[in-house]
Amino acid sequence: MSANTFSFHQECIATPIGDMLVVADEQDRLRALGWADLQERLNRQLVSRYGNFRLRSQPVSTAIRNGLLAYLEGKLDAIDAIPVETGGTVFQRSVWEQLRRIPAGTTMSYADFAARIGRPKAVRAVGHANGANPICIVVPCHRLIGADGSLTGYGGGLPRKRWLLDHEAAAQGRLI
């Protein structure tokens, strides 16, 4: 394997909203998370970020798996401790880091988020970075919504975005 080839492992985990593909590296950092029915999208993201990579089918770390399963069972903060390595540009990484600081069960508009990160005129750039997020759920891009409160773009599909938002609200004992 050349020095420029990344080695990842992937596990498929059944969830209430479809089979989830979990990709981690040799240091047990989450590198990508997507959906089996959208495998081609996940593959494109991996190629775009890493170029050459080797993907083996094998279980991810217990910490990653248990964190994701606990989140899906309603322990929303279980994903906070999952280590991630996203790749991406400096701006993208800063957006993705800040997304992890939006509390579970909270939504905000792209404009409010851009202002929150000190880039109020970068709404479109925030939208593009959000759309390029390789690690859905753990980097909670589903928490950004349209200025009018509407659900807008989600790489896993709007029904999954709705489910995730409803799941977080229900786990906190409230309806949205």
Residues with catalytic annotation? 141
The CA–CA distances, whole Å, from 131 to 6, 34, 77, 97, 160 equal 23, 13, 23, 14, 15
Q: Which one-letter amino acid corresponds to residue 4?
A: N
- Note every long-range contact of 62-68, with CB atoms under 8 Å and residues 24 or more positions apart, other chains counting: 63/28, 64/22, 64/24, 64/28, 64/30, 65/11, 65/13, 65/22, 67/138, 68/13, 68/20, 68/22, 68/33, 68/137, 68/138
